Amino acid sequence: MFANTSWLTWTLYTFLQPPVSLDRQKIIHLFTVLPRTFYSQKWLMVTVPLVIYGVMRYLQLIYEKNEGESPARILLSDKPLISALVIWGTLVVGIIYLI
């Protein structure tokens, strides 16, 4: 139940997060350096399939292969799950800081 809630929460965040309109003259210096961060939330929708795949792959390993006793071992040893995490992380960082 919590696994489904996790990816559903991520999906709702990426779909419903409105772009923030900011008055550039009243913003402190930190926010003028990173203005793209506030306008890039809608591009995060691209990462939803990777989140769903990662959660479902983790559940498959727990229930079908009975590897639930050590979550850290699962995250560090399963190559498809590691690749999904790396691609997801790269996309999120790329979307937030490059787009």
The Cα 7–Cα 54 span in angstroms is: 9
The Cα 52–Cα 11 span in angstroms is: 9
The Cα 47–Cα 7 span in angstroms is: 11
Which whole-number Å values give the CA distances from 92 to 27, 46, 67, in the listed order?
24, 9, 28
Looking at residue 22, what is its pLDDT? Answer: 43
Total-model pTM: 0.69
Residue-wise pLDDT tens digits, 48-75? 899 999 999 988 888 888 877 788 888 8
